Amino acid sequence: MKKKILFGIVILLAISFFAYRYTYQDHRDISSEEATYVVSIPELKKEFWTNDSLALSKYQNQTIEVAATVTAIDSENKAVVLDNNLFATFTDSLPKAIISGKKLKIKGRFLGYDELLEEFKMDQSSIIQ
């Protein structure tokens, strides 16, 4: 009888351990990942206008690299807008190298397309030198 109770406790602990590990996985470090796609904003637009569901399944949650011109800076939210179409937030404070009108190459996690604002969303962005 004691063996059955001990065995049940061990099984319960093992299931709890694996459930905890599955729920609280390590976070991705986008800045150290290689970009899955190197794409321009006009290419993104074309793909989303052609077939938005296919483009979303292709790019969503992927690390992408984009080169574009900075059109707006939102230092309060640690974000920039590139070519009036891509809203990118940074994990840390905005780098001082970001100046409106300057060409910038960034890498980040692609979140999706906001149809209401007609802009692409990206987070965990970092500047590529």
CATH number, residue 74: 2.40.50.140
Domain with 65 in it = 30-127
Residue 17 lies in a domain: no
| Counted domains in the chain | 1
Report the C-alpha dihedral over residues 111, 114, 118, 123, rounded to 10 degrees: -30
pLDDT of residue 54 exceeding 90, the answer is yes
Residue 96 lies in a domain: yes
Range with the poorest average pLDDT among 17-21, 22-26, 62-66: 22-26
What would you report as the CA-atom Rg of the chain, rounded to the nearest whole angstrom? 21
**Higher pLDDT residue, 95 or 41?**
41
Residue 5 lies in a domain: no
Report the C-alpha dihedral over residues 28, 32, 35, 40, rounded to 10 degrees: 100
Q: What is the pLDDT of residue 31?
A: 77
Is-above-0.85 flag for pTM? no
Backbone angles phi, psi at 6, to 5 degrees: -60, -45
Residue 14 lies in a domain: no
43 pLDDT band, cuts 50/70/90, is: very high
- End-to-end distance of the chain based on CA atoms, in angstroms? 66
Amino acid at the residue 90: F
Q: What is the pLDDT of residue 26?
A: 64
